[in-house]
């Protein structure tokens, strides 16, 4: 085993003032380089104008106390803040330093990481976040003026709302920092808890705590404490011990499962990590898993491109095979053929399950057909080759097609040409999905830049659906941009099938969206309001950098690591709204010289599968010092097989020969290694991406599923 090697620190960082924290934040201002990014982030013009007015007046009043001579001017400030909320909708965004007519108002907080720089125009904050930040930074006396100004209106709105959920949500949004907003949030906390969504209840409780803190209201602490204790008891009852894989010391091979039906088994080439069509896996329960893989080619119809392989994990045996597109045949719907992208993150099939059914995307948008988002219920007792399945609901080409939502008389969303992106996520009773809307481009080739897809702009939305009915709960428009694509040659030009957006990441009620068209956004999962959106630096069109895997998100550990496939930088970002004006970047973005896979990380480090000298190895990048150290290199001609796994103390990755388990707490010490044995008589592609639950660790390649049991 080779010793860990240490790479010298990155260039010297700017040092501001005295505090160590300030120095760390200052480093985020250096080393990124030009963004080369013309993505557009959505903006509310009315809220921008109102907040610009509030900022200008607040700047004029800086240092002046609230008294009879300044009262009228301070009222103009709080009135403008209320107008920003009143005249905007949930999910709309503004720049941190809004411009409107009179120029840019200097903020009352330092732009410590440069993301609020109006010249770069790279960041947006939700209107709700922007108002809350300004309220929290106002003098206490002025916050009292806010409550005096709008307290009665908030109380009347709360009384009129009664128990209506939507009306209560409007009270909480439009009158922040008041007692009525806190009481509305507490009522919504109770409602979420009663319908079996403790995660959403915790989010509403956190909002109530914030409103009471701004309102300097102590009389409601008893109500807060009672609900907090109830949620903690519920959490303790539901809390499972740490999953075995996250603390394992060894691996035991259970077996391998061919994914092709035997009569049509054929060799599929394994694309490089992050490229092309790739199968995905979800766990149905403690013993069963489902692999969603491109079809085996036995059906000549272009829409028959997918299959579900149901697997018993304990015996590593395939129990059923299903063609999910056949469930759409009765509806007269045919999804578009699977056009494989040549850029990362490719198109990774990524099913999700609530234990009873499976949600996934089918097909791609073509010239004549759209793609589908479906929820399919599976018979939990199925053991034969023909699994019993039914369509719970389906969306097609951006509209509800089947299920309770399709029977509604309400009009569907006014999307144009759309494509549901793979990588959905399920949180309690809500499904989140990224939706792309293709727009006719009005931007010239010169404005787009070299290597940018010349066909259409992609407008990115995040949508939340009710998991049971498929009904649309909310949707938020984030922005639009072009995809960076490599050339396919002198005759084919630049136009190729678009790669997907990043798979969604969710934790503690927040959902991260990576568009792969120049920006990412963190969204509050309960109503779609935006914590922040940020444009990234973009890579050259002929370079291959990150695979665009699902980003590691851990709100409790204050860590969101973002490695966009259209960038050559790794970002350590704040996994929450910027309510205190301390910026979004936790460390300086780190450059990437070659293709790599982000495995996991924390607020001060990242685990990366990348080249190490002449070979390849798992490496750890320290965020603030720039230090890098490595696990043992792979063998000659051995390559990484796909996306890996990481917990707080362990990391797993598959190569084209085997599966490695390493200890993160001991500088990537190798704990165990298991070979990926080839099934007898079946052409096999080794490697693939990893999936884990409880004691199960699975590696999925284009042809084979390997099942391992992790042991303490």
DSSP letters of 341-408? PSSTT-EE---EE-SSEEEEEESB--SS---EEEEEEE-TT--SSS--EEEEEEEETTEEEESGGGG-
Long-range contacts of 141-144 (CB under 8 A, 24+ apart): 141/65, 141/66, 142/66, 142/74, 142/77, 142/78, 143/177, 143/214, 143/215, 143/216, 144/216
Sheet of 306-312: strand order equals 280-283, 288-294, 306-312, 317-322
pLDDT at position 521 is: 98
Largest CA distance in the chain: 89
CA-closest candidate to residue 598, choices 344, 280, 285, 387 = 344
Run means of pLDDT, 10 residues per run, the chain, 712 residues: 30 29 45 90 96 92 92 97 98 89 58 89 97 94 97 98 97 97 97 94 96 89 88 68 90 92 53 86 95 64 69 93 88 82 90 94 86 90 66 94 78 87 96 93 47 66 97 97 74 65 95 97 98 96 90 88 96 95 94 92 94 87 92 87 93 94 93 87 80 96 94 94
Peptide bond into 652 cis (omega under 30): no
Q: Are 84 and 51 in contact (CB under 8 A)?
A: yes
pLDDT for residue 175: 98
CA atoms within 13 A on the CB side of 22: 8
Query: 255 CB contacts (<8 Å, ≥6 apart)?
Result: 315, 316, 317, 706, 707
Query: Are the C-beta atoms of residues 595 and 544 closer than 8 Å to each other?
Result: yes
Q: Are strands 669-675 and 658-663 parallel, antiparallel or unpaired?
A: antiparallel
Cα separation, 179 vs 199, in Å, equals: 23
What pLDDT sits at residue 10? 25
Residues contacting residue 602 through CB under 8 Å, at least 6 positions apart = 554, 557, 559, 648
**Residue 440's closest CA among 454, 452, 428, 429?**
454
The structure's pTM equals 0.91
Cite the beta strand spans of 199-340 per DSSP E.
250-258, 277-278, 280-283, 288-294, 306-312, 317-322
Other beta carbons less than 10 A from residue 249's beta carbon: 12
* CA pair distance 430, 478, nearest whole angstrom: 19
Do residues 592 and 547 touch, judged by C-beta distance below 8 A? no
Q: What does DSSP say about strands 277-278 and 347-348: parallel, antiparallel, or unpaired?
A: parallel
């Amino acid at each position: 085993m080779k010793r860990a090697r240490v790479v010298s620190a990155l260039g010297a960082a700017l040092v501001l003032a005295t505090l160590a924290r300030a120095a760390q934040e200052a480093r985020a201002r250096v080393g990124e380089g030009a963004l080369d990014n013309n993505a557009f982030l959505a903006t509310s013009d009315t809220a921008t104008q109102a907040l610009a007015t509030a900022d200008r007046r607040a700047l004029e009043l800086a240092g002046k106390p609230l008294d009879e001579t300044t009262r009228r001017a301070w009222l103009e400030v709080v009135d403008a803040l209320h107008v920003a909320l009143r005249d905007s909708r949930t999910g709309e965004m503004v720049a941190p330093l809004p411009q409107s007519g009179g120029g840019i108002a200097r903020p009352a907080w330092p732009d410590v990481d440069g993301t609020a720089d109006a010249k770069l125009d790279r960041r947006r904050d939700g209107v709700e976040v922007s108002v809350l930040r300004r309220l929290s930074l106002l003098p206490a006396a002025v916050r009292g003026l806010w409550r005096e100004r709008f307290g009665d209106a908030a109380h009347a709105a709360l009384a009129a709302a009664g128990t209506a959920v939507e009306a209560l949500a409007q009270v909480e949004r439009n009158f922040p920092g008041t007692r009525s907003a806190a009481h509305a949030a507490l009522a919504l906390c109770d409602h979420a808890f009663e319908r079996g969504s403790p995660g959403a209840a915790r989010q509403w409780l956190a909002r109530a705590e914030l409103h009471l803190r701004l309102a300097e209201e102590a009389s409601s602490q008893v109500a807060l404490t009672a609900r907090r204790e109830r949620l903690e008891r519920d959490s303790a009852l539901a809390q499972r011990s740490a999953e075995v894989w996250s603390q394992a010391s060894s691996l035991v091979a259970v077996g391998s499962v061919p994914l092709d039906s035997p009569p049509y088994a054929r060799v599929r080439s394994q694309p490089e990590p992050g490229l092309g069509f790739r199968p995905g896996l979800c766990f149905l329960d403690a013993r069963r898993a489902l692999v969603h893989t491109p079809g085996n080619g036995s059906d000549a119809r272009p829409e028959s491109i997918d299959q579900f392989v149901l697997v018993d994990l304990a015996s590593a045996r395939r129990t059923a095979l299903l063609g999910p597109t056949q469930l759409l045949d009765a509806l007269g719907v045919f999804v578009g053929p699977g056009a494989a992208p040549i850029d990362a993150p490719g198109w990774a099939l990524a099913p999700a399950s609530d234990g009873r059914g499976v949600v996934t995307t089918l097909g791609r948008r073509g010239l004549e057909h759209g793609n589908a988002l479906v929820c399919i219920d599976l018979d939990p007792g199925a053991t034969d080759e023909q699994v019993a399945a039914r369509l719970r609901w389906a969306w097609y080409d951006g509209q509800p097609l089947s299920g309770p939502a399709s029977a509604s008389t309400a009009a569907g969303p006014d999307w144009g040409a759309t494509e549901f992106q793979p990588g959905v996520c399920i949180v309690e009773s809500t499904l989140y999905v990224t939706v792309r809307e293709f727009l006719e481009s009005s931007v010239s080739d010169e404005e787009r830049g070299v290597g940018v897809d010349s066909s259409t702009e992609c407008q990115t939305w995040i949508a939340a659906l009710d998991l049971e009915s498929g009904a649309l709960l909310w949707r938020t428009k984030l922005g639009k941009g072009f995809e960076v694509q490599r050339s396919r040659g002198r005759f084919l030009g630049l136009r190729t099938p678009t790669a997907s957006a990043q798979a969604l990441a969710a934790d503690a009620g927040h959902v991260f969206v990576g568009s792969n068209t120049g920006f990412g956004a963190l969204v509050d999962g309960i109503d779609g309001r935006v914590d922040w959106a940020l444009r990234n630096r973009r890579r050259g069109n002929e370079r291959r950098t990150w695979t665009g895997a699902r980003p590691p998100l851990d709100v409790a550990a204050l860590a969101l690591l973002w490695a966009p496939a259209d960038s050559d930088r790794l970002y350590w970002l704040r996994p929450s709204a910027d309510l205190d004006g301390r910026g979004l970047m936790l460390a300086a973005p780190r450059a990437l010289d070659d293709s790599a896979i982000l495995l996991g990380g924390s607020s001060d480090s990242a685990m990366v599968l990348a080249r190490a000298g002449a070979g390849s190895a798992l490496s750890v990048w320290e965020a603030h010092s720039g230090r890098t150290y490595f696990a043992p290199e792979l063998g000659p001609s051995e390559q990484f097989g796909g996306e890996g796994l990481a917990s707080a103390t362990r990391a797993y990755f598959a190569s084209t020969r085997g599966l490695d388990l390493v200890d993160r707490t001991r500088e990537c010490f190798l704990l165990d290694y298991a070979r990926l044995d080839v099934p007898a008589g079946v052409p096999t592609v080794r490697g693939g991406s990893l999936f884990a639950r409880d004691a199960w660790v699975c590696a999925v390649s284009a042809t084979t599923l390997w099942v391992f049991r992790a042991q303490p």
